[in-house]
Structure 1
Amino acid sequence: MTLLAIFVAGIGAGFINVMAGGGSLLTLPLLILFGLPSAVANGTNRIALMAQNIVAIASFRKGGYFDWKFSTMLAIPALIGSIVGAQIAVTMSNDLFNRILSIVMIVVLVIIVWKPHKRLSAASEGQTWPKRIGLMVIFFFVGVYGGFIQAGVGFIIIATLTLVSGLSLVNINSIKVFVVAIYTLSALVVFIVNGQVHWGYGLTLAAGTSLGALLGSRFAVKHGDKWVQRILIVAVVAMAVRLFFKTV
């Protein structure tokens, strides 16, 4: 029954990722509430994230929207940062991590609803070396955050590249999924080495999120995402409150 619940939760998270973003706001706290220690839930959630981003990379590559050189330049510092962030996550106490996660959940929820990143003006597309170096430094810290907690990192990447690179949203998303896939792999290795992954839950969750993403992509064509956001608001607020006051 637990595996079935995780699979269903994965479907919901994959669906929400397509419709509105922020699926990890559901899966990570749910894994904790299902009884996994915070670090194990964090590591287990990475398996589903890897599956989603590998599929997305293949899709963008097939569509011709991919810049290997630029994406790799940003992925390398993010990878290094993710090792630092994941190491912090595996050594942090459950109570402290849960409280930090609950606060992050509310902040990311506000970003999902108000979409401030969509109101940003794109910069000129010229890629000077000062810009490139600045982006590499920023993406190191993106990696630290992604390795530590992950939830909402996509919005940070979109906002950063919109302001600095001037690339189209399609190209930005192709870079985002590649960078996230690379640093998620390195973070996952840290969690595996420290024995902080539940493979049964992780593979079940990955199957659910993949199915949910497929259903969400089809639904998005015919319907809006307002009602999905309303459900997400209620679910995330409820779980954030539960996590904040959870004692382990």
Structure 2
Amino acid sequence: MVGVAAGWLNVMAGGGSLLTIPVMLFMGIPGPVANGTNRIAILAQNITAVTAFRRRGYSDFKLGFSLAAMASLGAIGGAMVGVKLDGVWFDRVLALVMVGVMILMATGHDKIKPTGGDSKPKNLFAGHLLMVAAGFWGGFIQIGVGFILMPILHKVLGLDLVRVNMHKVLIVLVYTILALGIFASNLELMWWIGISLAIGNSIGGWLGAHTTITHGEALIRRVLYLALSAFIIKLLFF
């Protein structure tokens, strides 16, 4: 059910991992294991997304893989840190990340406004360099990585929003393979939970794409704020 909710949330508002990782923590799964297990669902999601973009005629694998290669360098370092961040420190970092994401969502800074863009990239050197930092964050904890990748792709590289999302899912797919490998080689991941989340995410994503609710996103965000507030209090004080 959590996977379905996360997939639906990703389509309707974004931020599904904000639910899946805390829920796994409250199931008694250690922080790094939950962090790694979540990558199984992320991998499945982005395989589906890359396939969907390609079927619709959107693909630029030359640029996508070069950006992904740079992000992967950072992701390797981030994942190596992530596997060692255990116990109370993982809870504190996760709580701070959740607070940051709530602020971004409440102020509207989690969305990229359609201010134009092109299919031809610019500032390639700066864009590739920034991908290392984005990849580090993605390898480390993943939550909120879209808030880093999308401005780089849109504002720095100057891509239109369709291609921003096209490259984003490919970049996340590639570095997630490496990050998942590092987590799996260092920790005993909950593979069945990860696969269940992946299936749930797919179902939830389908439901979200086919559901029309008046002010649906606003309602979902209010519920998400309440859930995140409860998670943060639990992580910090109990």
TM more than 0.5: yes
Three-state SS of the structure 1 residue aligned to 2:83 is helix
The aligned runs of 1:28-107 (5 Å cut-off) are 28-107=21-100
Instruction: Report if the CA contact (8 A) 2:120-2:159 is conserved.
Output: no
1:113 aligns with 2:106: yes
> Match for 1:212 among 190, 199, 204?
204
The CA deviation at 1:132 is 1.2
Aligned alpha-carbon RMSD (Å): 1.8
Instruction: Report if the CA contact (8 A) 1:122-1:164 is conserved.
Output: no
Three-state SS of the structure 2 residue aligned to 1:118 is coil
Three-state SS of the structure 1 residue aligned to 2:106 is helix
Q: Which piece of structure 1 moves more, 42-51 or 215-224? A: 215-224
Separation of aligned partners in 1, 2:53 and 2:212:
18
Q: Provide TM-score, normalisation by structure 2.
A: 0.93
The CA deviation at 1:170 is 1.0
The CA deviation at 1:32 is 0.8
1:149 aligns with 2:141: yes
Against the structure 1 CA distance between its residues 234 and 40, is the aligned structure 2 distance closer, same or farther, given a 3 Å change threshold? same
The CA deviation at 1:125 is 6.5
Separation of aligned partners in 2, 1:91 and 1:98:
13
User: Number of residues paired by the alignment?
Assistant: 237
The CA deviation at 1:121 is 4.8
Against the structure 1 CA distance between its residues 70 and 220, is the aligned structure 2 distance closer, same or farther, given a 3 Å change threshold? farther
> Match for 2:166 among 174, 177, 195?
174
1:165 aligns with 2:180: no
Q: Provide TM-score, normalisation by structure 1.
A: 0.90
The Cα offsets for residues 7-55 of structure 1, whole Å up to 9 and x where unpaired, read as: x011100000001111000101111111100000001000000111110
Separation of aligned partners in 2, 1:241 and 1:216:
29
The CA deviation at 1:80 is 1.3
1:23 aligns with 2:13: no
Three-state SS of the structure 2 residue aligned to 1:91 is coil
Instruction: Report if the CA contact (8 A) 2:37-2:191 is conserved.
Output: yes
Three-state SS of the structure 2 residue aligned to 1:64 is coil
Instruction: Report if the CA contact (8 A) 1:81-1:140 is conserved.
Output: yes
- Larger fraction in helix: 1
Against the structure 1 CA distance between its residues 9 and 124, is the aligned structure 2 distance closer, same or farther, given a 3 Å change threshold? closer
The one-letter code matched in structure 2 to 1:31 is M
The one-letter code matched in structure 2 to 1:53 is N
Runs of 4+ with >6 A deviation: none
